[in-house]
Structure 1
Amino acid sequence: MEISIWTFILVVVFGSCSWLGTNSVWMELPLLTSHLPEGWNLPSYLAADVQIACAGPLLVSLLHRLCPSISLPRAPIIIGFIVLACLCQISLSIWWDVVARVGSGNFSVCLYAFLFGLAFVDSVSNVLFLPFMAQYNPTYLNAYFVGMGLSALIPSLLSLAQGTANYKCVELDGKLVPDYLPPRFHVSAFFFIVFCWTCITGVAFILLYRSGAHNALEEERVNEGTPLNDKESVGSPSSKSQEERDPTTDTEVATSSPRQGDSALMGPSYIFLLLCTALVNAQMNGIIPSIQSYAALPYSRITAVILAAAFHSYLRVVFASLLREGEQSASRLFWCGVFIQIGSFFGSVIMFPLVNIFKLFTPAPPC
Structure 2
Amino acid sequence: MSLAIHILACVFGTGSWVAINGLWVELPLIVNVLPEGWDLPSYLTVIIQLANVGPLFVTLMHKFAPGKMKEIVAIYVIISIGILASLLMVFFWKGTTLLVGTPHSTAFLTLTFFLSLVDCTSSVTFLPFMMRLPTKYMTTYFIGEGLSGFIPGLVALGQGSGMIKCVNASKPVNVTTGNFTEGAIVHQIETHYLSANFSTETFLAFLTVMMIFCLLAFIFLTRVPHKMLHEVQVSNEVLHVSTTELELNKYIPEQPTDTQSFSLHDPRKAMDKAKLAAETQSVLVSTFSKYSKQQLLFIYLLVVWVNSLTNGFLPSVQTYSCLPYGNLAYHLSAALGSMANPGACIIALFVPKRSLLLLGFLSLVGTVFGAYNMAMAALSPCPLLQHSEVGAILIVLSWILFSGTLSYVKVMIGVIFRDESHSALVWCGAAVQLGSMIGALSMFPLVNVYDIFTAGDSCNMNCPL
TM-score (norm. length: structure 1): 0.84
Equivalent residue, structure 2, for 1:51:
49
Indicate if the aligned counterparts of 1:133 and 1:141 stay in contact, CA closer than 8 A.
yes
Per-residue CA distance 1:36-68 (angstroms, 9 max, x = gap): 222222212101100110111111121222224
Indicate if the aligned counterparts of 2:71 and 2:129 stay in contact, CA closer than 8 A.
yes
User: Could you tell me how far apart the structure 2 residues matched to 1:109 and 1:214 are?
Assistant: 49
Indicate if the aligned counterparts of 1:136 and 1:215 stay in contact, CA closer than 8 A.
no
- Cα drift, residue 134 of structure 1: 1.0
Match of 2:224 among 211, 228, 235: 211
- Cα drift, residue 268 of structure 1: 2.1
Indicate the SS of the match to 1:182: coil
Letter of the 2:418 counterpart: R
Equivalent residue, structure 1, for 2:37:
39
Higher relative contact order (CA 8 A, sep 6+): 1
Indicate if the aligned counterparts of 1:47 and 1:290 stay in contact, CA closer than 8 A.
no
Match of 1:107 among 84, 97, 104: 104
Equivalent residue, structure 2, for 1:314:
408
Match of 1:77 among 70, 74, 78: 74
Equivalent residue, structure 2, for 1:286:
312
Per-residue CA distance 1:279-305 (angstroms, 9 max, x = gap): 221122222343345445672642333
Q: Unaligned stretches of 5+ in structure 2?
A: 171-186, 235-270, 342-402, 460-465
Change (3 A) 1:306 1:259: farther
> Computing the radius of gyration over CA atoms, which structure comes out larger, 1 or 2?
2
Question: Is the counterpart of residue 137 in structure 1 residue 172 in structure 2?
Answer: no
Letter of the 1:317 counterpart: V
Match of 2:434 among 332, 339, 342: 342
Change (3 A) 1:136 1:56: same
User: Could you tell me how far apart the structure 2 residues matched to 1:83 and 1:181 are?
Assistant: 35
User: Could you tell me how far apart the structure 2 residues matched to 1:36 and 1:362 are?
Assistant: 22
Change (3 A) 1:308 1:265: farther
Letter of the 1:253 counterpart: A
Change (3 A) 1:189 1:54: same
Change (3 A) 1:287 1:218: farther
Change (3 A) 1:104 1:259: farther
Indicate if the aligned counterparts of 1:94 and 1:188 stay in contact, CA closer than 8 A.
yes
Match of 1:171 among 164, 168, 179: 168
User: Could you tell me how far apart the structure 2 residues matched to 1:293 and 1:99 are?
Assistant: 27
Indicate if the aligned counterparts of 1:18 and 1:125 stay in contact, CA closer than 8 A.
yes
Q: How much is the aligned-residue C-alpha RMSD, in angstroms?
A: 2.6
Indicate the SS of the match to 1:172: strand
Question: Is the counterpart of residue 353 in structure 1 residue 353 in structure 2?
Answer: no
Indicate if the aligned counterparts of 2:48 and 2:117 stay in contact, CA closer than 8 A.
yes
Moved more, 348-357 or 282-291: 282-291
Equivalent residue, structure 1, for 2:261:
none
Question: Is the counterpart of residue 117 in structure 1 residue 145 in structure 2?
Answer: no
Change (3 A) 1:259 1:339: same
User: Could you tell me how far apart the structure 1 residues matched to 2:288 and 2:55 are?
Assistant: 25
Indicate the SS of the match to 1:10: helix
Equivalent residue, structure 2, for 1:268:
294
Indicate the SS of the match to 2:166: strand
Identical pairs, percent = 33
User: Could you tell me how far apart the structure 1 residues matched to 2:227 and 2:39 are?
Assistant: 44
Figure out how many residues of one structure are paired with residues of the other and give that number: 337
Equivalent residue, structure 2, for 1:323:
417
Question: Is the counterpart of residue 303 in structure 1 residue 329 in structure 2?
Answer: no
User: Could you tell me how far apart the structure 2 residues matched to 1:63 and 1:186 are?
Assistant: 41
Per-residue CA distance 1:211-234 (angstroms, 9 max, x = gap): 23597259989xxxxxxxxxxxxx
Indicate if the aligned counterparts of 2:6 and 2:140 stay in contact, CA closer than 8 A.
yes
- Cα drift, residue 308 of structure 1: 4.0
Indicate if the aligned counterparts of 2:313 and 2:440 stay in contact, CA closer than 8 A.
yes
Question: Is the counterpart of residue 363 in structure 1 residue 455 in structure 2?
Answer: yes
Equivalent residue, structure 2, for 1:127:
124
Indicate the SS of the match to 1:277: helix
Equivalent residue, structure 2, for 1:152:
149
Change (3 A) 1:193 1:92: same
Q: Unaligned stretches of 5+ in structure 1?
A: 222-246
Per-residue CA distance 1:330-366 (angstroms, 9 max, x = gap): 2221111010000011111111111222122233224
User: Could you tell me how far apart the structure 2 residues matched to 1:282 and 1:273 are?
Assistant: 14
